[in-house]
Amino acid sequence: MEALQKSAREALENHKAKVIIGYSEGSGGRMRPIFVQSPAEAEKLTWNDRCTQNLAVYIAKPEVQKLGKPALVAPLPVLRAVLQLASENQIKEGDLLVLALSDGRVTELSQFSEMEEFVAKTPTHLASKDQEAIERLEKMTPQERWQYWQSELTRCFKCYACRAACPMCYCSRCTVECNQPQWIPVPAHPLGNWEWHLMRAMHLAGRCVSCGACGDACPLDIPIHLLTMKVEADIHREFGSQAGMKVQSEHALSSFKVQDKENFII
Please select the residue that binds another protein; options are 56, 156, 166, 231, rule is CB under 8 A. 231
Please say which residue, 42 or 222, places its beta carbon nearer to another protein: 222
What Å distances lie between residue 202 and 91, 146, 206, 215, 234, CA to CA? 23, 18, 9, 16, 12
Please say which residue, 27 or 265, places its beta carbon nearer to another protein: 265
Rounded CA separation 227/81 (Å):
18
Please say which residue, 48 or 172, places its beta carbon nearer to another protein: 172
Residue closest to 109 by CA, chosen among 212, 262, 247: 247
∠ CA 88-170-106, rounded to 5° = 70
Q: Please list every residue from 90 through 119 that binds another protein, using CB under 8 A.
A: 90
- Do residues 12 and 37 make contact, with C-beta atoms less than 8 angstroms apart? yes
Q: Please list every residue from 236 through 255 that binds another protein, using CB under 8 A.
A: 238-239, 250-255
Please say which residue, 34 or 86, places its beta carbon nearer to another protein: 86
Residue 252 beta carbon to another protein: minimum distance, rounded to whole angstroms: 7
What Å distances lie between residue 112 and 84, 87, 91, CA to CA? 11, 10, 10
Residue 3 beta carbon to another protein: minimum distance, rounded to whole angstroms: 35
Q: Please list every residue from 165 through 204 that binds another protein, using CB under 8 A.
A: 170-175, 178, 180-181, 183, 185, 187, 189-192, 194-195, 198-199, 201-203
Rounded CA separation 205/227 (Å):
10
∠ CA 110-113-116, rounded to 5° = 105
- By CB under 8 A, the count of residues binding another protein is 61
DSSP secondary structure of 125-179? PPPHHHHHHHHHHHHS-HHHHHHHHHHHHHT-----HHHHH-TT---SS-GGG--
Contact code string over 144-163 relative to another protein, x by CB under 8 A: xxxxxxx-------------
Which residues of this chain interact with another protein, rule CB under 8 A?
Answer: 88-90, 137-138, 142-150, 170-175, 178, 180-181, 183, 185, 187, 189-192, 194-195, 198-199, 201-203, 205-206, 227, 230-231, 234-235, 238-239, 250-258, 260-262, 264-266
